[in-house]
Structure 1
Amino acid sequence: MTPAIPLALLGLMDAAFSGFRAYAGRDARIRKRRANARAALRGLAVGSVLLLAPALTATLVLMTAADRNRSYDNLTAGGRGYLLPLTGYAAIVFLSLAAYFVLPFRASTLAVVVGLGPLTLLRPLALAAACAGAILNGGGRTALLIGTIASAAVLCVEPVVHRRWYRRVRTAVE
């Protein structure tokens, strides 16, 4: 199986979370479920566009390769190597999210502070580990190139969403 589908799903989920993070703390209103959903959808939209870059790069690499089967095998190996560290990272994030939603208020707050906060800061390191995994698994330079482009794309979602929609802090009286 090609790792492109799970990688795309992870990238899109990360984009939705990035949209939410761009909005979080910018609005003092109590009821903001619709605004949270809108922020996640904005992140998903921006991420969908940005994640076209690695997809188009991979397509270009395959279309211009002298030996397409070998290039496809290298990209598949690199994708699997890229996927492995990200799967571990995503599992820890989902455990922290589950703790947030399941545990009582104080414990869920602790799960956010101890789990999700530092994990957000570790995203670039997880992506660097994924790029290293792409090389170590035999993907070669092209897999590293595509992994680097994909990493840059997911790291750009939150700043783009923030600059486009959430520059100004909204107060409760607005």
Structure 2
Amino acid sequence: MTPAIPLVLLGLLDAAFSGFRAYAGSDARIRKQRFATRAGLRGLAVGAALLLAPTLTAALLLVTGDQARTYNTLAAGGLGYLLPLTVYATAVLLSLAAYFALPFRASTLAVVVGLGPLTLLRPLAIAAACLGAVLNGGGGSALLVGTIAGAAVLCVEPTVHRRWYHHVQ
């Protein structure tokens, strides 16, 4: 099985959340579900565009090298990349579930203890994923694709913020 599909889906989901985070706190309206949805879709669009960079890098590596060997190396690296991100995504989803399921005070605590620190740990999760890609046999090619993918998802939130929400204070 190729890990590309779950990695792309995870990257796009992260991009949608990044779009929401770029918007969060910039609007004092009480009913802002439509605006939050729009922010998520903006993040998704920016993320889809930025995730073309690692996709094209992987395609270029496949075209220029021994295809079978490069594919196996990238697949092994992708699985190594996916494991730390799955652990991280599970922690985020558990925090989100607590936020939505618990009463107000407990859900606030879930944000402060869970989602806040997890957002700050995103770059470390990506670094762990890059390390996992190398340790799982992905080598330099998987590290290159993983680093570009990590940089792409980390650039979504600032890009969305600068493009649509920088003027809001």
Task: Give the TM interval when normalised to the shorter protein.
Answer: over 0.9
Q: TM-score, normalised by structure 1?
A: 0.96
Within 5 Å, which residues of 2 pair with 1:16-165?
Answer: 16-65=16-65, 67-165=66-164
Cα distance in 2 for residues equivalent to 1:17 and 1:104: 23
Structure 2 portions without partners, runs of 5+: none
Cα distance in 2 for residues equivalent to 1:168 and 1:19: 16
Secondary structure of the residue aligned to 2:29 is: coil
Backbone CA RMSD of aligned residues: 0.6
Q: Which structure carries more helix by proportion?
A: 2
Structure 1 portions without partners, runs of 5+: none
Q: Report the equivalent of 1:6.
A: 6
Cα distance in 2 for residues equivalent to 1:103 and 1:168: 34
What is the aligned-residue identity percentage? 78
Cα distance in 2 for residues equivalent to 1:6 and 1:25: 30
Conserved 8 A contact 1:18-1:43: yes
Cα distance in 2 for residues equivalent to 1:106 and 1:36: 22
Cα distance in 1 for residues equivalent to 2:168 and 2:154: 22
Which structure 1 residue ranges, 4+ long, deviate > 6 Å from structure 2?
none
1:169, distance to aligned residue in structure 2 (A): 2.1
Cα distance in 1 for residues equivalent to 2:67 and 2:14: 30
Secondary structure of the residue aligned to 1:20 is: helix
